[in-house]
Amino acid sequence: MSSRAHGKMHQVSVTATKNGSGEVKFEPDSKVWNHSDGEFVFRKDEHGRFLWPGFGENSRVLEWIFRRCQGTGEARETPIGFVPAAGAIVTDGLDVDPHDMERLLAVDSGEWKLELPAIHQHFARFGEQLPQALRDQLSALERRLGGDD
């Protein structure tokens, strides 16, 4: 995936387990998280200023993930899954503007649509070994993003 989609935080509602015959089974409603620091940490404003204070503060994102797993972390649903709700990431003691946090947590469907060909290309590397459940998740993502423009 290129850097445009990195840094998005979302929940995927499947877990892969192998049974005795080696088949991979995807179980719904488990808690699997994807958090990549890329764009979240390195996202800049129009003046080139970093919006997030830096790597040392990423534990605040992990704290939200843990609270979310416990059922207490507030989130909002987006086409890519759940992201922290406004105020859900503790920013006490940080010099982070609320508008900057809003920008950091924004999900741009257009950017994600641009990522779809790269995701398809990546999945193609696995051929028939790619579990159908992952293909289904990608198709569902495409539907949630609104398909092709």
pLDDT of 55 strictly over 50: yes
The rounded Cα 82 to chain-centroid distance in angstroms is 8
Residue 9 above 80 pLDDT?
no
Q: pLDDT by residue (tens digit) across 125-141?
A: 999 999 998 999 999 99
| 50 contacts: CB under 8 Å, gap ≥ 6 | 41, 42, 43, 44
Q: How high is the mean pLDDT of the chain? A: 77
